[in-house]
Amino acid sequence: MTTICDAPCVALTDRQRQVLRLVCDGATDRQISAHIDASIRTVQREIAGIRAALGAPSRAAMIASAVRAAAGEPPRPT
More reliable by pLDDT, 52 or 68: 52
- Cβ atoms of 57 and 51 within 8 Å: the answer is yes
Q: pTM for this structure?
A: 0.78
What domains does the chain contain, in order, with CATH numbers? 4-70 (1.10.10.10)
Give the pLDDT mean for 33-44. 97
**How high is the mean pLDDT of the chain?**
84
In 13-58, alpha helices (H): 14-24, 29-36, 40-54
- Cβ atoms of 67 and 4 within 8 Å: the answer is yes
- Sign of torsion, CA 16 21 27 32? negative
Give the pLDDT of residue 7.
Answer: 47
CA 14, CA 77: separation in Å to the nearest integer?
Answer: 24
More reliable by pLDDT, 11 or 3: 11
> How does residue 5 score in pLDDT terms, banded at 50, 70 and 90?
low
